[in-house]
Amino acid sequence: MRVHTFKRAVVALALALPGAAIASVVAAPAAHADGCYTWNRTLYQGRSGSDVRQLQLRIAGWAGNNDIVELDGRFGPKTAAAVRRFQSAYGLEVDGIAGSQTYGKLYQIQDDNCTPRHFSWSEMDEGCGGSGWTGGPLSSGQTRQNALETMWKLEALRKSLGDKPLIVTSGFRSRTCNNQVGGASDSQHLYGNAADLVSRDRSLCQVARQARNHGFSGIIGPGVSGHNSHVHVDSRRENNQDRSANRTYWAAPDCGIPAGYR
């Protein structure tokens, strides 16, 4: 675990009403995240903006079974449901409203560079030893953004597996790297959307089964040639820049996950 520093301010106002019943603008939460991002207002269904998108990025891993949270900046039912799952997982009041308690927990589990506490930029750029996010089909900035979303999904998956370490054996790959390891010609690894995982504390099948609940539209694991030593997860359904259809594909036959589109 890396050292994480943050500062938090106590707020006196607590929300008691569901988002649909809020009729007036609520005072901005007074918590701050050093070096990363600070929300300045409470968010609930019907709100929109870049702050909603920042929230969606961090709770994308709480999408629910075979679902995703679109990073569209609109706080709709899916975002509210993901917030509730996040709140439940961390022992917060479950109301689907992002206020001071929800932000405080998000600040607590992220580092100053906006990555979640248990994952890092370096491990996501390790397909062949690191390439600085270049050499793929996207700009380095776009690739890094995809990798950041992947890390937040991994953080949620890790939490649901009992906060036991997940090890990324391959993240972003440049085209050169992808060719070296024999990856698919349009692999999601090229876009920063994918990670290959192992765990010392959980079986590969436990990882693959649980990944179905955390926003991963691509899961390939035991029972598929070349994937008996790790679990591959990705976000192919959200990728509008590859050559694949925006569909969910899971295949881990040895884990009771038959190969096919969902």
| Active site (catalytic) residues | 227
What is the bridge-based pairing of β-strands 167-170 and 249-252? unpaired
Token pair listed for 140: 């380095």
What's 151-167 look like in SS3? Answer: HHHHHHHHHHCCCCCCE
Alpha carbon of residue 160 to chain centroid: 13
Give the angle subtended at the CA of 149 by the CAs of 76 and 22, to the nearest 5°. Answer: 25
Report which residue type is found at 246: N
Distance, CA of 19 to CA of 237 (rounded, Å): 29
* CA dist., res. 165 & res. 251, Å (int): 23
Coil/strand/helix, residue 233: strand
Q: Which two tokens stand for residue 243?
A: 């050559």
- Token look-up 């390790």 returns 126
Give the strand order in the sheet containing 218-220. Answer: 167-170, 194-198, 231-234, 218-220, 249-252, 257-261
